[in-house]
């Protein structure tokens, strides 16, 4: 178990002290795939680097399996870090080494005999789906293949925890999906706790069971992924969910901007589809029943942890009595609803 207790981190700057993290309290259970999400500059990468003390917190405790890493000596910390592996956005492979050599590298440092290291490295290459790339160099690989080699190298130290810092941000959507499937498989096969840092809610909903949302160095929301997608409580969560549009649309940024502009204004209703209602024509049937159109400002149905979940933001007719009747109709048909107020930007 990972326990972050009252974690704060400051950096000195020319303009004074910058507060990167402010009193973060977080518990990550063994075997979780835990997401930490936020916009650029929120502090999420700083937070994940505090877990293995690549960044030492200014204040607070980092407790792993009951042991406070802040109190360890340098040799004790090096030993503890053997159980915490990390993968990065830019892969960080050794370009002069083959794939096999890259995977063997941490085992060489740990003193594993050469023959055993080679055998294990070949096994890890097979696990990540690259059994034929042992003698290839990183320059000969695609981005997705490089990340698979980086994952194999991370597994070489038999970690209990795998930290992923924007590990899919440099990859296209199809490759991202395959890497997430690989991480999910590794979690199930080896029972490794995985902590994923990302700015993409699409990554969170595809793989994570729990999520923490960071904004301006503060923890603003924390809980089950399904619950936060259904009932986001913070402005940051709602904005991140709203920005979760298909990246292969070619107009993702423009679509987000247009949607966010349209959502400001008159009274609106946000509805969330459950697995029993996501594929039923509830809205169309409601329009037919009441004989009044609604304005669909945003509609999207996704798979959240294997469960069909969708979000739709509707502009209802001005008639208050009709609004009440429509809300009741939606609730009776298994939809979770909430009013969207002006703080959703």
pLDDT tens sequence across 100-124: 999 999 999 888 999 999 999 999 9
More confident residue, 248 or 273: 273
Report pLDDT for 104.
94
pTM for the full model? 0.79
Report pLDDT for 90.
84
Report pLDDT for 264.
42
Q: Please return the burial class of 254, using the count of CB atoms within 10 Å of its CB with bins 0-12, 13-18 and 19+.
A: exposed
Closest CA to 165 of 149, 181, 152, 147: 147
Residue 68: pLDDT above 60?
yes
pLDDT tens for each residue of 2-45: 999 999 999 998 988 999 999 999 999 999 999 999 988 899 99
Residue 265: pLDDT above 50?
no
CA distances (Å), origin 152, targets 112, 160, 305, 336: 16, 14, 25, 42
More confident residue, 255 or 267: 267
- Angle of the 114-127 helix axis to the 143-155 helix axis, nearest 10: 130
Q: Where are the alpha helices (DSSP H) in 33-172?
A: 44-51, 74-81, 99-109, 114-127, 143-155
When pLDDT is averaged across residues 204-222 and rounded to a whole number, the result is 93
Map out the domains of the chain as residue ranges.
Answer: 2-231, 263-338
Closest CA to 52 of 42, 62, 65: 62
* Residue 341 banded pLDDT, cuts 50, 70, 90: low
| CATH 3.40.50.300 corresponds to the domain 2-231 | yes
- Phi, psi dihedrals of residue 65, rounded to the nearest 5°: 50, 45
* Kind plus residue range of the DSSP H or E element containing 315: strand 307-315
Residue 230: pLDDT above 50?
yes
Report pLDDT for 282.
82
pLDDT tens for each residue of 235-259: 888 888 777 765 544 444 454 444 4
Q: Which top CATH class is 263-338?
A: alpha beta
pLDDT tens for each residue of 176-209: 889 999 999 999 999 999 999 998 888 898 899 9
pLDDT tens for each residue of 319-339: 888 888 888 888 888 777 877
Report pLDDT for 245.
61
């Amino acid at each position: 178990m990972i326990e972050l207790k009252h974690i704060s981190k400051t950096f000195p700057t020319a303009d004074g002290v910058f507060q990167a993290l402010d009193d973060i309290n977080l518990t990550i259970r063994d075997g979780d795939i835990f997401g930490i999400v936020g916009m650029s500059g929120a502090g999420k990468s700083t937070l994940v680097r505090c877990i293995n003390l690549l960044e030492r917190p200014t204040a607070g405790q980092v407790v792993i399996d009951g042991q406070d890493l802040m109190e360890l000596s340098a040799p004790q910390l090096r030993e503890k870090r053997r159980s915490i592996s990390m993968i990065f956005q830019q892969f960080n492979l050794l370009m002069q080494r083959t794939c096999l050599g890259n995977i063997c590298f941490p085992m060489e440092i740990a003193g594993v005999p050469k023959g055993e290291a080679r055998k294990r490295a070949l096994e890890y290459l097979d696990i990540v789906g690259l059994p034929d790339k042992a003698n290839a160099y990183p320059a000969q690989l695609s981005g997705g293949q490089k990340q698979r080699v980086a994952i194999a190298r991370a597994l070489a130290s038999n970690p209990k925890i795998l930290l992923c810092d924007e590990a899919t941000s440099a990859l296209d959507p199809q490759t991202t999906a395959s890497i997430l499937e690989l991480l999910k498989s590794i979690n199930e096969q080896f029972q490794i706790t995985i902590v994923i840092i990302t700015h993409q809610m699409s990554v969170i909903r595809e793989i994570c069971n729990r999520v923490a949302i960071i904004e301006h160095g503060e923890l603003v929301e924390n809980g089950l992924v399904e619950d936060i997608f259904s009932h986001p409580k913070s402005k940051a969560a709602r904005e991140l969910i709203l920005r979760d549009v298909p990246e292969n649309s070619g107009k993702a940024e423009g679509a987000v901007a247009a949607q966010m502009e349209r959502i400001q204004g008159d009274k609106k209703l946000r509805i969330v589809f459950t697995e029993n209602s996501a594929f039923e024509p509830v809205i169309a049937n409601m329009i037919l029943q009441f004989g009044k159109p609604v304005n669909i400002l945003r509609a999207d149905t996704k798979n959240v942890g294997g469960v069909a979940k969708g979000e739709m933001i509707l502009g209802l007719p001005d008639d208050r009595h009709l609004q009440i009747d429509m809300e009741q109709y939606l609730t009776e048909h298994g939809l979770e609803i909430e009013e969207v107020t002006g703080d959703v930007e």
